Structure 1
């Protein structure tokens, strides 16, 4: 209960931060929701009283007009507030979505890429996915709960004027219904666990029915009957699993129906006696019986809303867990960032990914001097990308430390620290914007720098061929007017992006893996040409870039096994030499055969076609 109260206060704080004035309209909404059915009930009693009193038609119509007008005004206000809260609830949901988005953009990288981090984010994000989710419905559900509470108190005050015994009956009814809701909550996890596999089976079958790849087999092998049997079995299993819940629902509905019948019978029996004894007027009888009916429905609403509110507050734990994750890196004031002559030292660093027992990197030590061109090579899975993520501050070593100009990485504010690096990764992700937006990436726009970057990267030649120039969009799935960049063109855009940021450390993490050898060589020549004054890292499992670098770091199973220039490592005839020779053979032999085959194909086409 203490935890639920904590989550309730958190939700109320979020609502207040969104719009403090919403609480005034919230209170008015609760009042109109509660008062409206009571006013309608009292009008019925008042009409009877007027008729029995024999008032004049003029006075009757005048009094009736006042009552009807008042009820209509309350109803208009209630409906207007309903539409207001439908809109505000959705905007509130979107504001929470933005808060989650801001956190996901600024949260430490390990907290989002891990399996646990993805789970926490997914659970929090599910609360804002639609108006039916927690942050889209909570305000209205809270208003219904408070309306039910006020309604119970109001209708109880009316019926207690007739008999105090109703306190006992109503209390027993509420207690019984709350017990049933508690039982529902208790068996819910077990039923969810048991039905989870059944739901997966059913979902899988539904996907199969619409899979065109299976359509031929279904017909040729006459699988319809078999599928029907499987679906019937899944349905039968589901019914069996849901039996405990269905039995509980039946018992709850029976208890509720019995309780309402008991209250109603008792009310009619007692009211008839009171009317016979002259202690209850006919108009009071209408109010009394109407209050009993409204009380019964309001009790049901109250119990249901208590269960819903309990569920809502339980879901708040996902939001709370996401928003209050403990930072891994330094987000406080850090030391000043060096702006030139950047050197990086690795001192005995090791790293093991979460849920893994074998370390990806083991006891690495190396020093990278300002202005050096470093190639980090090795076979797939050697730990190259992990090393770069550690240097960039995306991951934190389990052991050892990383020094920037002699200062520990942790001494810098992490957001400031990221300013040191311009990185181009293999998995280049394109946003649904223009070429210019992709290059600038939200940095302050400087036209002089921008034009120079276009020329240096060769992107100016690309946009010169486009009708919309650098305003051309580059994600075709989103915009029909967008273009599809080739691999080489994309890498030139990414080069322009790195050049525009102009950070002192340049990192290329296999950006050319999807390109052919010639295109790869051209891209690397571009990068090398514009990295003369930077500490640069070239990461690849292909060795086309290594000959241009000052030093080569060879990684094998998470350890540095070779360090030296291309000539030195070739002379050593170890792993680097063997990998280089294997790739060189491919480029010498296989590529040559492909070129010869293409040449023969062209000659054959000319012979067959002839020349006119």
Structure 2
């Protein structure tokens, strides 16, 4: 490491230390935490100094057969000091722990309030997830910087007290100990750099291991794992990922072992020189045994104080690298949330227009949408159909501003949607996604997604979604926990029931535009028919966009758009598209033929049974 890199490392450490200390100090609990840490540091330094000096003084007085009030006081301090220190440390430690928990919780809340407002497309990137993991590591020890500053302060006070004693022996002794400390600093600083790089690699490999472990732990994988006998495969993949992660862990440990061996060797040299010098002073120069004990104890504690200062600085340097990772993560631009301030309005006269929109996912070469154009009018019902990968879900992500177009623009009432307030714009939509989320909360909280709710509105939403009978059959109604993962008295809803819950969520939040992405995928045909009847009622006087493979939804649509390879290849009413005898009519005929064959098979089976 050259001088420039060392200087940059020092600057980075000082900058990051100042940043984290200032963050803690600005909190009321933080001020109390810092004050107590420094008071405890002073107490510890004073007791350490007493423990270094008192034994030698006592020995000299006893050898001179002197019993004085000073001797009694010295013995009392030496005996009672550790107890007093433990009592005060215990009392102060409880207060420090309580204040530390408050500070840590404050920053964890702040961190997650930040991440939930990060651009959706950013969170899908693996490298961003790795940065997030390293940022979370810092949150687990957000008070580490203050703790190390406290340790640094304690050690420096001890150092100045001990120097006054050691310098009476021979100032050159200090140089001998400094030799070991400087050597240790070089070794451990190099270890810090290597450890940080190892931690990055360990974090990257741990994400793969965590994914494998998740599939072994989570209940939703249990059926497939057993029925398809996939358990052995998952265990093998988990073990393989764990073995991959163990490689950098072993390398990190080997580097640490070598570094600690080198520091132990340097310590051996400095202690050998010190002991030899003290033996010489006692044997040849007439130093008293008590003074030798004082100097020996002071030298050991001086060396320990220097070590503590070094370790505190190296810990600050290690934390500084974590702080830099943290700052990189939280400084990732939140383009969507900061993009606009206008208030969106959507009514009967409103128009949303995709104008020459192209979109390519990060890291992909091909476009998911290409030169895409579409106009959606207020109160219009649009049904989108197409094969998997045609761009249907990408269209929804762009419409809701989860992603921004790579090219082109999306307009609402002639204004680019990025000029509108992000949260207010998203409030226009009530969505039921194909991969809807089921939260580990109660049924009521899953629908409302808030601590409090309007009971009448909740009842109405469940009635609209066909969920009322399900809720009435639950042991605690709306207060029943979803999933047994955190509560064994919870309920595991079926796929259809979960989907109805997602539909009820959209009803409760009722925006001006309903987005229904495969909303009946988990429902049987009879339930599907009822749901579409309810959709027809729900979306009356609303704009609605249906994405589906099952063409029963076309009966609700004013217009139908057929997607293929990121473009609209057919657009019009059901009658217009069917009359063209193109892609749409072919899809409809194939699906109708499938249902007719299914019905014939059922009739044959019923006849055979009779």
What interval of TM-score do these two structures reach, taking the shorter chain for normalisation? Answer: 0.7 to 0.9
Deviations 1:375-411 (A, max 9, x none): 1111101111111111111111111111112222111
Do structure 1's residue 23 and structure 2's residue 63 form an aligned pair? no
Provide closer, same or farther for how the CA distance between residues 332 and 81 of structure 1 changes in structure 2, counting only shifts above 3 A. farther
2: distance between equivalents of 1:119 and 1:190? 13
Partner of 1:446: 454
Do structure 1's residue 9 and structure 2's residue 8 form an aligned pair? no
- Give 1:303's match in structure 2, choosing from 299, 303, 310: 310
Corresponding residue SS for 2:546: strand
- Give 2:297's match in structure 1, choosing from 269, 280, 290: 290
Following superposition, the deviation at residue 293 of structure 1 comes to 1.6
2:496 touches 2:522 (CA, 8 Å); kept in 1?
A: no
2: distance between equivalents of 1:362 and 1:248? 57
- Give 1:576's match in structure 2, choosing from 584, 592, 598: 584
Following superposition, the deviation at residue 545 of structure 1 comes to 0.9
2: distance between equivalents of 1:206 and 1:387? 33
1:506 touches 1:534 (CA, 8 Å); kept in 2?
A: yes
Q: Unpaired segments of 5 or more residues in structure 1?
A: 218-226, 605-612
Select between 295-304 and 525-534 the one with higher mean Cα deviation.
295-304
Partner of 1:422: 430
Corresponding residue SS for 1:481: coil
2: distance between equivalents of 1:344 and 1:46? 89
Partner of 1:255: 266
2: distance between equivalents of 1:569 and 1:52? 112
Aligned length: 579
2:343 touches 2:425 (CA, 8 Å); kept in 1?
A: no
2: distance between equivalents of 1:441 and 1:98? 18
Partner of 1:160: 167
Partner of 1:538: 546
2: distance between equivalents of 1:203 and 1:493? 29
Following superposition, the deviation at residue 465 of structure 1 comes to 3.0
Deviations 1:155-211 (A, max 9, x none): 22321122221343233222211121233245557877999999999999999xx99
Partner of 1:482: 490
Following superposition, the deviation at residue 40 of structure 1 comes to 1.7
Partner of 1:406: 414
Partner of 1:375: 383
Deviations 1:19-64 (A, max 9, x none): 2221110111211222222112222234235435655577754664
1:347 touches 1:402 (CA, 8 Å); kept in 2?
A: yes
2:378 touches 2:543 (CA, 8 Å); kept in 1?
A: yes
Partner of 1:224: none
Deviations 1:247-300 (A, max 9, x none): 5543332222112222332244235544x2xxx555433321210121223333
2:13 touches 2:316 (CA, 8 Å); kept in 1?
A: no
After superposition, residues 297-446 of structure 1 pair within 5 angstroms as: 297-331=304-338, 334-338=341-345, 340-341=347-348, 342-442=350-450, 445-446=453-454
Select between 190-199 and 25-34 the one with higher mean Cα deviation.
190-199
Provide closer, same or farther for how the CA distance between residues 336 and 478 of structure 1 changes in structure 2, counting only shifts above 3 A. same
2: distance between equivalents of 1:371 and 1:519? 25
Alignment TM-score, normalising by the size of structure 1: 0.84
Provide closer, same or farther for how the CA distance between residues 10 and 487 of structure 1 changes in structure 2, counting only shifts above 3 A. same
Deviations 1:476-528 (A, max 9, x none): 33322222323333333222221221211111111222333333232222112
- Give 2:92's match in structure 1, choosing from 73, 81, 101: 81
1:90 touches 1:136 (CA, 8 Å); kept in 2?
A: no
Do structure 1's residue 146 and structure 2's residue 149 form an aligned pair? no
2:17 touches 2:145 (CA, 8 Å); kept in 1?
A: no
1: distance between equivalents of 2:117 and 2:66? 73
Following superposition, the deviation at residue 246 of structure 1 comes to 4.8
2: distance between equivalents of 1:316 and 1:190? 15
1:198 touches 1:238 (CA, 8 Å); kept in 2?
A: no
Provide closer, same or farther for how the CA distance between residues 200 and 568 of structure 1 changes in structure 2, counting only shifts above 3 A. closer
1: distance between equivalents of 2:497 and 2:203? 47
Corresponding residue SS for 2:169: coil
1: distance between equivalents of 2:212 and 2:424? 51
Corresponding residue SS for 2:552: coil
Provide closer, same or farther for how the CA distance between residues 592 and 40 of structure 1 changes in structure 2, counting only shifts above 3 A. farther
2:148 touches 2:313 (CA, 8 Å); kept in 1?
A: no
Do structure 1's residue 39 and structure 2's residue 47 form an aligned pair? no
2: distance between equivalents of 1:236 and 1:406? 57
Alignment TM-score, normalising by the size of structure 2: 0.84
2:195 touches 2:252 (CA, 8 Å); kept in 1?
A: no
- Give 1:127's match in structure 2, choosing from 138, 145, 149: 138
Select between 287-296 and 92-101 the one with higher mean Cα deviation.
92-101
1: distance between equivalents of 2:11 and 2:232? 59
RMSD: 3.8
- Give 1:93's match in structure 2, choosing from 104, 113, 130: 104
